[in-house]
Chains A and B, each alone.
Chain A
Amino acid sequence: MAKVVVVGVETNISDWIEKYIPKEQLMLVSTEEAFNGAIDGQLNEEISAVICGTEFSEISANEIAQSLRMLNGSLEIYFVSSKQEKFDTTQLGKDGIKTCFLFPLDEDRMAEELVRIRSKTTGERLFQTVCFADLAPGETLDFDIFLYMPANKKYLKLVKKENSLSSSQYQRMTVNNRQKAHVLLSDVSKFYDFTAKHLLSVNSDSKISETEKREQLKKSVRVLLTDLFSASEDLATLSGRRSTMANAKQIVRKFIEKSGQVDIKNAINAQVGEQNNGDAHLTNLSVYASLFSLALGIGEPGNMAIAGLVHDLGKDLLPTQIKHKFPENMTSSELLEYEKHPHESVQALKRLNVPLTDDIIKAVSQHHERIDGSGFPMKLSGRYISGEGQILGIADQFDHLTSTVEGRRTFSPLEALERIEQTGKFDGGYIKDLKDLFIDKEENSEGSQDIQQTAATHKEVIDVESSKKEPKAS
C-alpha cells in the first residue's frame, strides 16, 4: 500500500494526522538523520503524498520539497505548520508545495485533503452523513445521494446527480420529518454549497411574503439545529456532534463567502491566526449567530457569522492577568478594563482596513448590552440595543450553557433558552422565536424497513465494510 510520508512535522499535528490516515499507511520521518537516510536510500516505498513541516533546524520545508521532487517529480507535497512566521506560501509554491496549511486555522481544509488522499490510496469510497435543511421533490442536485442500509452494511445510491428527486425518493430520505442521507466525501463541498445557496436565496427572495419567508427559514434552521443537538445514536457521541458541527461550520463558511465578507475573514485570520480560529466557542458562536440571524431575519447571516468569530478580539488586548479571569473574580478596576472589550473589538476590526457592515459593528459592540440597562460598555437599554447585538448576546450565553464543561451541568437547547429568558435581560420575543426552533421534534424510528424495500428496487449498491464508515471529524 502506498505511504503518506510525514517529514519534520510538529508532534501535535502529526498526532492529529493519525486520526485521518491509518498508522499502517503512514511513514513518519521525524529526524534530519532519518530524512538524509531516506534521500540516500531514495525512498524505496511507494509514496502517495508527502506532508512536510518546519521542525528540522537544518533542513527547511523548501529543501524537503525540492529534494523529494528530485526523486519523484509528480509527488503531491503539502506543507503544514502552526508557526505563522514560517509561512511563505509564494516560495513554498515555487519549491513544489501543492498546498499550505496553517494549523489549526486550516484544520477543516486539511482534514478534507487527508480524507481525499486516504480514499485515493486505499480505493475506499468514504461517505458523510448530511441533513438537508430545505429539500423538495423535483429538485436537481449536482451530487449523488446515498442511503445506508445497516442490516447489510451497504450504501445504496438513491438519487443520481443531475436527476430530479422524485416524491418516493424524497419519502425514502425522510426520517423524523428531516431529509437525511449520505454523500461521497468528495461531494461534501457541493452539499454545503447547495445548502448555503438555497437558504440565502430564500432569505433574499422578494417574491414571497416576509411571514412565509420566516416560516420557511425557521423550518430549515430548525432542521440544522435539531440535527446538531440530536439524541440519536450516531450523533450522541462527541465525535458525532463534532461531525455535525463541522457540517454546520462549513455551511456558515459558505454564507461568509457568498456575503462577500471573505476579505474580513482573511484579514482577521492573518492578524489573529490560531488564537481566533482554534477556539471552539468562537466557532460555535459563529454558527449559532448565523443560524439565529437566518431564522429570525435579523442581520445578514454571513455578517453575523463573522461577528461571532471576532466579537472578543478586544479581549486579546487585555493584560494577561485579566484575560484569563472570569468576570466574577475580577477586582473593580479589572472589571472596568474588561468592560471596554466590545468597544476595543470594534476598534481592532477598524484597524484591519476592510469594509465593515453595520450589522457586524452593532453585534460586536453591543453583545454585552442588556435590555434592563445592566450591560456594558454603554449601559444601553430596551430598544436602544440592536437586534444584532441581542442575537449575538443570546448566542454567546446559549453556547456557554449548552457546551460540555467539566464540573458543570450541560443544558439542553430549550433549557438554555429558558434560563436566558428567566434573566429578563433579552427581548422575550426573540427568545420565544428561538425556542420555537427546538420544539416540535417527533421521535420516529429510522425507516430501515423502507430502506430494505428500496434496495430491492434499485440496482446500484455499493458494498462498504462497516469499519469504513465516515472518518471522525475533529
Chain B
Amino acid sequence: MFASTTKVLIVDDMSTMRKLVLKACNQLGLVNVEQAEDGVKAWEKIAASPEPFGLIISDWNMPNCTGIDLLKRVRSTANTKDTPFVLLTAERDTAQVKEAVEAGVDNYIVKPFNQETFAEKIGTVFQKRFGKTG
C-alpha cells in the first residue's frame, strides 16, 4: 500500500464527497491529503506543488474541467505523466470505462463504494505500479 507520507490529491466538486473520500484515505493511513473542487483548480495545485503528488483520486463529472480531461492533461505533461490516477464515477458505462483506460487511468471506482472496495482498488493500483502488496 502507498506510504502514509504519499501526497494525495482528491478532486470532486461535491464537498461532502471530498470529505468522505478523505476519510477513506485516512483509514488507509494516507494522511498527507489535499483537495480541489474541479479539474482547473486541481491542475493549479499540481503545477504549483513543490513536490509531486503520489496519487490523484478524481471524480469524473465536474464543472469547468472533468476528471477525464484532468487525466489527459496529467498524462500528457512530462513531470506528471506517471502519477497514479484513479477515477470515481456514479455511472457504470462501458464506453466511459474504455475512454478512461485509453486515457491511461490506473483504476476506476463506481460510487457508492465502501472502505473495503476503496482499499482493494487503491491496493491494486499500488501493486500494478510498484509490484508490491500491502
**Distance (Å) between the CB of A12 and the closest chain B CB?**
26
Q: Which of B14, B19, B111 lies in contact with A69, CB distance below 8 A? A: B111
Q: Quick one: CB contact mask for A15-59 with B, threshold 8 Å, 1 for yes?
A: 000000000000000000001100110000000000000000011
- Whether A70 lies near B112 (C-beta < 8 A) is yes
- Whether A66 lies near B111 (C-beta < 8 A) is yes
- Whether B114 lies near A94 (C-beta < 8 A) is no
Q: How many A-B residue pairs have CB under 8 A?
A: 45
**Distance (Å) between the CB of B21 and the closest chain A CB?**
9
Question: Does B90 interact with chain A (Cβ within 8 Å)?
Answer: yes
- With contacts A63-B14, A70-B112, A96-B112 taken as known, whether A39 is within 8 angstroms of B20 at the C-beta atoms is yes
Question: Does A73 interact with chain B (Cβ within 8 Å)?
Answer: yes
CB neighbours (8 Å) of A266 from chain B are none
- Whether A63 lies near B91 (C-beta < 8 A) is no
Q: Which of B16, B91, B113 lies in contact with A67, CB distance below 8 A? A: B16
User: Which residue of chain B has its CB nearest to the CB of A62?
Assistant: B14
Report B32-52 residues with CB < 8 Å from chain A CB.
none
CB neighbours (8 Å) of B17 from chain A are 63, 66-67, 70
Question: Does B15 interact with chain A (Cβ within 8 Å)?
Answer: yes
CB neighbours (8 Å) of A96 from chain B are 90, 112
- Whether B15 lies near A59 (C-beta < 8 A) is yes
Q: Quick one: CB contact mask for B1-45 with A, threshold 8 Å, 1 for yes?
A: 000000000000011110110000000000000000000000000
Summarize A's interface: helix, strand, loop or mixed: helix
Q: Which of B19, B90, B91, B114 lies in contact with A39, CB distance below 8 A? A: B19
Determine the interface band of chain B, counting residues with CB < 8 A from chain A: 10 to 19
CB neighbours (8 Å) of A70 from chain B are 17, 20, 111-113
Q: Quick one: CB contact mask for A366-391 with B, threshold 8 Å, 1 for yes?
A: 00000000000000000000000000
Question: Does A95 interact with chain B (Cβ within 8 Å)?
Answer: yes
Report A122-159 residues with CB < 8 Å from chain B CB.
none
CB neighbours (8 Å) of B16 from chain A are 35-36, 39, 59, 63-64, 66-67
CB neighbours (8 Å) of B113 from chain A are 70
- Whether B20 lies near A67 (C-beta < 8 A) is yes
- Whether A69 lies near B91 (C-beta < 8 A) is no
Q: Which of B15, B16, B91, B113 has the most CB of A within 10 A?
A: B16
CB neighbours (8 Å) of A67 from chain B are 14, 16-17, 19-20
CB neighbours (8 Å) of A36 from chain B are 15-16, 19
CB neighbours (8 Å) of A35 from chain B are 16
Measured between alpha carbons, how far is A73 from B17 in the docked complex, in Å? 14
Q: Quick one: CB contact mask for A77-96 with B, threshold 8 Å, 1 for yes?
A: 00000000000000000111
- Whether A58 lies near B15 (C-beta < 8 A) is yes
- Whether B19 lies near A40 (C-beta < 8 A) is yes
**Distance (Å) between the CB of A33 and the closest chain B CB?**
12
**Distance (Å) between the CB of A151 and the closest chain B CB?**
51
- Whether B90 lies near A73 (C-beta < 8 A) is no
- Whether B15 lies near A69 (C-beta < 8 A) is no
Measured between alpha carbons, how far is A19 from B46 in the docked complex, in Å? 52
CB neighbours (8 Å) of A39 from chain B are 16, 19-20
- With contacts A39-B20, A59-B15, A67-B16 taken as known, whether A94 is within 8 angstroms of B112 at the C-beta atoms is no
CB neighbours (8 Å) of B15 from chain A are 36, 58-59, 63
CB neighbours (8 Å) of B114 from chain A are 73
**Distance (Å) between the CB of B82 and the closest chain A CB?**
29
Q: Which of B14, B90, B112, B113 has the most CB of A within 10 A?
A: B112
**Distance (Å) between the CB of A336 and the closest chain B CB?**
51
- Whether B91 lies near A66 (C-beta < 8 A) is no
- Whether A73 lies near B112 (C-beta < 8 A) is yes
Residues of A whose CB lies within 8 Å of any CB of B are 35-36, 39-40, 58-60, 62-64, 66-67, 69-71, 73, 94-96
7 A-B pairs whose Cβ atoms sit less than 8 Å apart in the complex: A36-B19, A58-B15, A59-B15, A63-B16, A66-B90, A66-B111, A66-B112
Residues of B whose CB lies within 8 Å of any CB of A are 14-17, 19-20, 90-91, 111-114
12 further A-B contacts with Cβ under 8 Å, apart from A67-B14, A67-B16, A69-B112, are: A36-B15, A59-B14, A59-B15, A63-B15, A66-B14, A66-B17, A66-B90, A66-B112, A67-B17, A71-B20, A94-B90, A96-B90
